[in-house]
Amino acid sequence: MTDKVKLLIPARRNSKGLPFKNRLLFEHTIDTIPTEYFKDLLISTDDEVLIEKCKSIGLNVSVRPDNLSLDETSTKDVIQYHIDNNDINFGDTVIMLYLTYPERTWSDIKNAYTFFIEQGAKSLLCKKDIKSTHPCLYMFDIIGNKGAQLVKHNLYRRQDYPAVFEISHYVCIFNVNELTKLNNNLYNDDTFFFKIDDVIDVDTKIDLDGLFHKEK
């Protein structure tokens, strides 16, 4: 990675599914990042506990304002704020790492970045196989016990269903000059997707318990 690559970790204080989950998961991600990359790492948070923790180990912190710490705040708006207010330039590439993926390794991050470079990508998210019901079998719920197809089709045989995958924010990479072209989920029609195995995305206590059970 070059000096043009910046690492960004969003770590909002509040969480409805698992209170203070970013406090619980902070070390899992920080411990995977080699210390020589700390100078290019920025923590975005409104959590006073994480702010003090970052300062104690010499990490760069950008304090998130209250208006960007709401449930309805998009990550895209948060990213733009930190680009505008920190040493992140128009020609840089940002690797964003959510703390909710504690199984992620530095090797995973490097492999995703290598794929990003090899593909000549401007933005990248991850993808994983769907292990549940195929989307062709899902319906929108309509009042009156009726339904409408989520995916419009006239296919009957399961083997004729198109190949699909689930989007994951396990590793998010984008060129700063591409951000305005991405939707609020950080992708567009030109986004590349890097294949990963099934991983735990911690959002509830059940997820956290599943992680601890998996580690045993």
Structure confidence by residue, pLDDT tens digits, 1-45? 777 899 999 998 877 778 888 999 999 999 999 999 999 999 999
Q: Which domains does the chain show, CATH number per domain?
A: 5-129+165-215 (3.90.550.10), 130-163 (no CATH)
Residue 119 DSSP SS3: coil
Residue 106 DSSP SS3: helix
Pair 151, 135: CB distance under 8 Å: yes
The top-scoring range by mean pLDDT among 41-45, 85-89, 145-149, 201-205 is 41-45
Spell out the residues 6+ positions from residue 184 whose beta carbon is closer than 8 angstroms to its own.
74, 75, 76
- Distance between the two ends of the chain, CA-based, in angstroms? 33
Q: What is the per-residue pLDDT across 97-144, written as a single tens digit (0 to 9) for each?
A: 999 999 999 999 999 999 999 999 999 999 998 877 888 888 888 877
Q: How far is CA 62 from CA 54, 78, 91, in A?
A: 10, 11, 20
Q: Which of 172, 27, 38, 6 has the alpha carbon at shortest distance from 99?
A: 27
